[in-house]
Chain A
Amino acid sequence: MKAKKVFSSTIYHIFIGVLGFIMVYPVLWMISGSLKNNPEILSGSLNLIPPAWRWDNFSRGWAGFGHVTFTTFFKNSLLITVIGTLGTVLSSSCIAYALARIKFRGRKLIFTVMIGTMLLPGQVVMIPQYLIYNRIGWVGTKLPLTVPHFFGAAFFIYMMMQFMAGIPKELDEAAIIDGCSKYTVFSRVIFPLLKPALISTIIIQFYWKWDDYMGPMLYLGKPEAYTVSIAVKLFADATSTTDYGAMFAMSTLSMIPVFLIFLFFNRYLVDGISTSGLKG
């Protein structure tokens, strides 16, 4: 019985481990590609260890395009991502609090509309929004990429509402008896307890925003304003031969902020997702 258990557990770990390795192989291949030159990358070899460690890919890549280096691209990406993520967390948590905890007239309607916007695909409003931003002179600036985040995102509002459903209402009531108002219940009770859901939001919104390609492509005109995702794509657009080593070197660097956020907050990610409210 015990031998059988050990055997099945070994099979389990081998299966999960091998499958996991295949899953991350493309990423590992990219990282190893950042230390190879063109012929080594294009040889089709499965080998992940670079024959010679070509660190110069990084300096060639970092030099960027024209006179704009990756220092600028990283600064732009970081600025847009941090502002966007901050806006999403603050606004979505306030809205979720209103919809989950306060019984006000019109709450049902607003909730329905909010679910409606969650079901509304972003690309359907791409052209309409572009026209509006164009009219108010926002095209070519960072404003369309940051300002809308301060007005809540349905997906995260919904996620936080699910999480709030698990926070006992008695806590709100106790805080009110202790002298809190409905405003301070949010700032002193709900918001701190919402931490796991806030962290999930930070992780997901951060990498959505960091990886976003369409938004920056639509709204950022000048190379000085480009984000990392736009810049990485420029390697592939080059009219001469693509410098794959430099491209993969910058691709690898472009993933570091996302990895860091994930490593830092990883253990909270699962705790922040609650599905209890999905059940009827």
Chain B
Amino acid sequence: MLRSKTTGNESGRTPWNRFLYNNNTVGYTFASPFIIGFLVFTIIPMLSSLYYSCTNYNMIEKETFIGIANYVNLFKDERFINSVLVTLQYVVFSVPLKLAFALFIAFLLTRPSRLVSFYRSLYYLPSLIGGSVAVALVWKELFARKGLINTNLGKLGIHTVNWFGNMSAAKWPIILMTAWQFGSSMLIFAAGLKEIPSSYYEAAKIDGANGWQIFWRITMPCLSPVIMFNLIMQLISSFMVFTQAFVITGGGPNDATMYYALYVYKQGIQTRNMGYASAMSWVMLLIMGTITAIVFKTSKHWVFNESES
């Protein structure tokens, strides 16, 4: 084993040691998995798909170059435009609902109590298993036409809803399921809440602030970087909703839940329309990039930065 008795950097005894313990060598050694992985599993696939997006390719015959025809067709494809719109709608409903719920519960659980860690596990449970096919199947049965939800709505005398047969109702079980899995956002909020210095609260109390004022003037500004982080992470994962819709509705009824990822899957993997699916990936990347950039830009106005004040 090579072990240096020196302090690393430049004082190595031999040139080999000097090289081995150089910051650049150490840095690149430890970072090399990422660099290699990024090139092999991200950059090369993305660049090659940029080429394929300008071709007609079905993975059996050799591709034929067709220029920007795929992109032109995308904007004429009503199903594609619909998939982008229903995805946006899903994101707009599910992300704020999920984050509000996560923050609310995280806030409730800051109260010192012996049961808090039990409650936290309880509320984390849906996130732990929510992405699974098993839970999606349960959801499908709960919201089925003669399922548990409808039967009990009927018993209460409320109009039953044909959840998966109705274009405007079908999105709700999926949105609800997403919001239900607020556990990981909740944990991150809880960690953020724990790190707000209690002296801030004490000072506010001395100044006579009430609970509501303390929440909006101290908790929220101090938590804003964490809110930003959760918002970005949830935005990205919501845009990619797949398994739930695939298992529960299969994109129906009449494309009402044909989210972007589902449509890409249909075009790419099922119909082997790889050129078209590649173009779709690139358009989605641009849409996502724009939205993320907008969120980052506006964050300057609402994310409170401690070092500035």
B-binding residues in A (CB < 8 A): 9, 12-13, 16-17, 20, 23-24, 26-27, 29-30, 33, 41-46, 91, 94-95, 97-99, 102-107, 110, 113-114, 117, 119-132, 134, 148, 150-152, 155, 157, 176-177, 179, 181-184, 186, 204, 207-208, 210-214, 218, 229-230, 232-233, 235-236, 244, 247-248, 250-252, 254-255, 258-259, 262, 266-267, 269-270, 273-276, 278-280
Q: List 17 A-B contacts (CB under 8 A).
A: A16-B108, A26-B135, A42-B146, A42-B147, A98-B31, A102-B30, A117-B42, A119-B288, A123-B260, A125-B45, A131-B59, A150-B33, A152-B37, A208-B131, A274-B191, A280-B225, A280-B306
Give chain A nearest CB distance to B67 CB in angstroms.
19
Asked if B167 lies at the interface with its beta carbon under 8 angstroms from chain A, I say no
> Chain A contacts of B109 at CB under 8 A?
16
> Chain A contacts of B24 at CB under 8 A?
104-105
> Chain B contacts of A24 at CB under 8 A?
122, 125-126
> Chain B contacts of A212 at CB under 8 A?
131
Q: Report the Cα distance A183→B187, complex, angstroms.
A: 32
Q: Report the Cα distance A157→B199, complex, angstroms.
A: 32
Within 8 A of A (CB), among B45-77: 45-46, 48-49, 52, 59
> Chain B contacts of A99 at CB under 8 A?
31
> Chain B contacts of A148 at CB under 8 A?
37, 41
B side interface size, CB within 8 A: 106
Which residue in chain B gives the minimum CB-CB distance to A210?
Answer: B132
Q: Report the Cα distance A113→B36, complex, angstroms.
A: 13
Contact indicator per residue, chain B 136-152, by CB within 8 Å of chain A (1) or not (0):
01111110001110111
Contact indicator per residue, chain B 255-276, by CB within 8 Å of chain A (1) or not (0):
0000011001100110000100
> Chain B contacts of A119 at CB under 8 A?
232, 236, 288, 292
Contact indicator per residue, chain B 156-190, by CB within 8 Å of chain A (1) or not (0):
00000000000000000000000010001001101
Q: Report the Cα distance A53→B23, complex, angstroms.
A: 64
Give chain B nearest CB distance to A91 CB in angstroms.
4
Q: Which of A23, A157, A251 contacts B137 (CB 8 A)?
A: A251
Give chain A nearest CB distance to B292 CB in angstroms.
6
> Chain A contacts of B21 at CB under 8 A?
181-182
Asked if B242 lies at the interface with its beta carbon under 8 angstroms from chain A, I say yes
Q: Are B27 and A103 in contact (CB under 8 A)?
A: yes
Which residue in chain B gives the minimum CB-CB distance to A159?
Answer: B188
Q: Are B37 and A131 in contact (CB under 8 A)?
A: no
